[in-house]
Amino acid sequence: MCMKHNTAKQYCTLIALVALFYLLLMVAIAIFTMKGVEQWRMLMATSALQNIGIFIIPAVITARIFNPGSTMQVMGINRLPGIVPTLLVLLIYITSIPMLNGIVTWNENWPLPEWLSWMRELEEQMAATTEQMLALTSVTRLIVAILLVGVLTGIGEEFIFRGTVQRLMSERNINIHVAVWVTAAIFSAIHFQPLGFVPRLLLGAYFGYLLAWSRCLWLPILAHALNNSVAVVAYYTPSIESMPWIGESVTTASFAISTTLTIALLYLFYRLYHHN
């Protein structure tokens, strides 16, 4: 049974566990650095430790402590999604590509005043780190990156953001829309990429509504992992960027069609779980 009255304690427990594992991660990074571990290997190992130690383990332990006997149910991982919602999530991803690419381009080209130039500098630093992580020189490294940056990150971030932060907000009887969008804002801000805040905010809200409507965390995990994995493959195969529909070039027509189809499919997904 969900213990709603202990929400504050759950947040405190979650924060304490995250802080503890963050310190352990810093120790691990220091050890990697002293031993002269190759940069790419260190980044992959750091990513794995972050997702498991900072995201997954604190989320699961917190849910377990305060919801004994119903941990998996509370987090929404006690059952797999059906074929129809899974297919809808896949279709929504495909139809939304031009829309998201257009929003990404718009957000990246925001004119910033001089006093906010640090935002672009921060964006460039994060982009450089991403490029180092995705400097894939072989198929083996591509597979490793898909598993760690794509799949594991999708699992880890959904466990802690939608499976824990959004869940705890909803347990406080906060309006579900508020819970979804506040969690999405935190999710976007924590990536420290201000010129990518809006598209990541929208993705976070999408993941949040998938959970809110279906009560199944595996659906936002699927959507998140798919989005990340395709991005990894796109880095490895730059020619994808010039392909129709899924490439970076977005026309007004493709943006309008993409947005219309995406909204229609989201409505179908909503109706799937709300028949009345």
Answer positive or negative: Cα dihedral of 178, 183, 184, 185: positive
Out of 90-94, 167-171, 237-241, pick the least confident: 237-241
* Angle separating helix axes 83-108 and 252-273, nearest 10 degrees: 140
Q: Is the model's pLDDT at 202 over the cut of 50?
A: yes
Q: Return the pLDDT at 275.
A: 65
pLDDT in tens, 220-230: 999 999 999 99
Say if residue 141 is exposed, middle or buried (CB neighbours under 10 Å; 0-12, 13-18, 19+): middle
Those residues with Cβ within 8 angstroms of residue 219's Cβ, 6 or more apart along the chain or in another chain: 81, 85, 86, 89, 210, 211
Q: Is the model's pLDDT at 91 over the cut of 60?
A: yes
Q: Is the model's pLDDT at 161 over the cut of 60?
A: yes
Q: Could you tell me the end-to-end alpha-carbon distance of the chain, in angstroms, rounded to an integer?
A: 27
pLDDT in tens, 71-88: 999 999 999 999 999 999
Per-residue pLDDT band for 2 (boundaries 50, 70, 90) equals: very low
In whole angstroms, give the CA distance from residue 243 to residue 92: 19
**Residues of the chain above pLDDT 90, percent:** 76
For residue 220 the two structure tokens come to 């936002």
In whole angstroms, give the CA distance from residue 24 to residue 57: 13
* Average pLDDT score over residue span 101-112: 90
What is the chain's mean pLDDT, rounded? 92
Q: Is the model's pLDDT at 1 over the cut of 50?
A: no
Q: Is the model's pLDDT at 152 over the cut of 90?
A: yes
pLDDT in tens, 24-62: 999 999 999 999 999 999 999 999 999 999 999 999 999
pTM of the predicted structure, to 2 decimals? 0.92
Per-residue pLDDT band for 240 (boundaries 50, 70, 90) equals: confident
Q: Is the model's pLDDT at 116 over the cut of 80?
A: no
Per-residue pLDDT band for 156 (boundaries 50, 70, 90) equals: very high
Asked if residue 83 lies in contact with residue 154, where contact means CB atoms within 8 angstroms, the answer is no
Answer positive or negative: Cα dihedral of 199, 205, 210, 215: positive
The conformation of residue 56, written as its DSSP 8-state character, comes to I
Per-residue pLDDT band for 5 (boundaries 50, 70, 90) equals: low
